[in-house]
Every structure is written in C-alpha cells, then in structure tokens.
Amino acid sequence: MKNPMTLPRRHMLAGSAAALSALGLAGWTGVARAQAAATPKPLPGYAGWKSANALIVHSGSTLETRRAAFGTSVITPSNQLYVRNNLPAPDAAVLENRDAWTVSIEGVKSPRALSLAELKTLGIDTVATVLQCSGNGRGFFPSKPSGTPWTVGAAGCVVWSGVPLRNVVAALGGLVDGMAYVTGTGGEKLPEGVDPLTVLVERSVPLKA
C-alpha cells in the first residue's frame, strides 16, 4: 500500500471527491431511511384517496412525499404528490358538478365568464411539468425558518391537461391593447374571519412567455 503522501495530486483530489460524494449519498440515504421507518400518520379526509405510506403528514394542510416514494419514474403519481394548502379544503360537494365551475377572463376584447364545460370545447393539451413549493428543502436550513420543515418532497413532476390560454384569448376576440402580464386570482369564498390580504398568493407571468 502506498503512503498517501506520495500519491499523485490528481489521485488525492479524486479520492477526496469520491469521499465527499459518498458522504452526501449517505446523508440522503439516512434521510430516506428515517422517513421510510416512520409510522405513517392518518391522512386528512380530503386526501384519504392518497397513499398514506408515501406521505409525511406535517399538518392538515401540508403533506410531503417521502423520498423513498419517488422511485425512478419521471412522473410522480397523483396519490403520492405533496399537498400545500393555504386554506382548509372546500367541502367535497364542490366536486359534484365540475363542468359548472367558472373562470372570468378580463383584458380581452370580449370579457366574460366561461364554464369548465365551455373551456373543454376550446381544445385540450397535455403537458408534463414540475410543481414545487417554494419552501422545498427548508428543513435543511441551519437557520430553522418558520413554516413547514420540508425536506425534498414538496415537489413532483405531474401530467396536466387543460386548455391553452392562447385558445381562450382567441375565442374571446384577442387581447386588449396594453396588456403585458397574465395574473390569476382564486374566486372561491373564504372562510369567515379570514382576511384576503393575509392569504393572497398571486404570480404574474409576462404574456411573451
């Protein structure tokens, strides 16, 4: 066996990198094992159809996908996908007539409300894209910030189907001059005593995107 002091520098560097990689892998493996060993908590009623063994229940409104549940698939199954709600889940009765749900479109030449049934007639596209909570990984921060202590499970790659916004805009006569951004705002009724400004979450996207 050679004295490590006589090894070529490139071998020393390679060995150090391998050691660091092994340490990193061991750290992630430790997290996965700890999550897998934990006894699953009961899921909240609205999420009862999801896989309890695949999720970490942080609270009634935050469920995290266990690292071990991701497997090797590109797509995260919906029954294993994390949940992050700002408000309590609505009553299950809202699912009884989904085609009656409506969305109001403004900033177009013929602004109006469209039902889900009407939207379905405008052409459906399907895409796979990542959904992630901005707090993903927060549990590893040394500063221990407030909020859900997510590890790596507040993210997933999901298959989405819906109507392209360009189709909706075209059906309503095109954009009004001067429009530069798209912003979506939830229209559901808030629980009594909730100040809308305390739960407001909006993200504007440039129209050119």
pLDDT digits (tens, 9 = 90+) for 48-59: 999 999 999 999
Q: What is the separation, in whole angstroms, between the first and last Cα of the chain?
A: 60
CB-hemisphere CA count at 13 Å for 177? Answer: 0
pLDDT digits (tens, 9 = 90+) for 127-162: 999 999 999 999 999 998 999 999 999 999 999 999
Non-local (6+) Cβ contacts of 182 within 8 A are 165, 204, 205, 206, 207
pTM of the entire predicted model: 0.74
Q: What percent of the chain has pLDDT over 70?
A: 82
Query: CA–CA separation, 35 vs 208, rounded Å?
Result: 42
- What are the chain's domains? 13-206 (3.90.420.10)
Find the range with the poorest average confidence among 16-25, 70-79, 93-102, 196-205: 16-25
> How far, rounded to the nearest angstrom, does the alpha carbon of residue 40 sit from its chain's CA centroid?
21
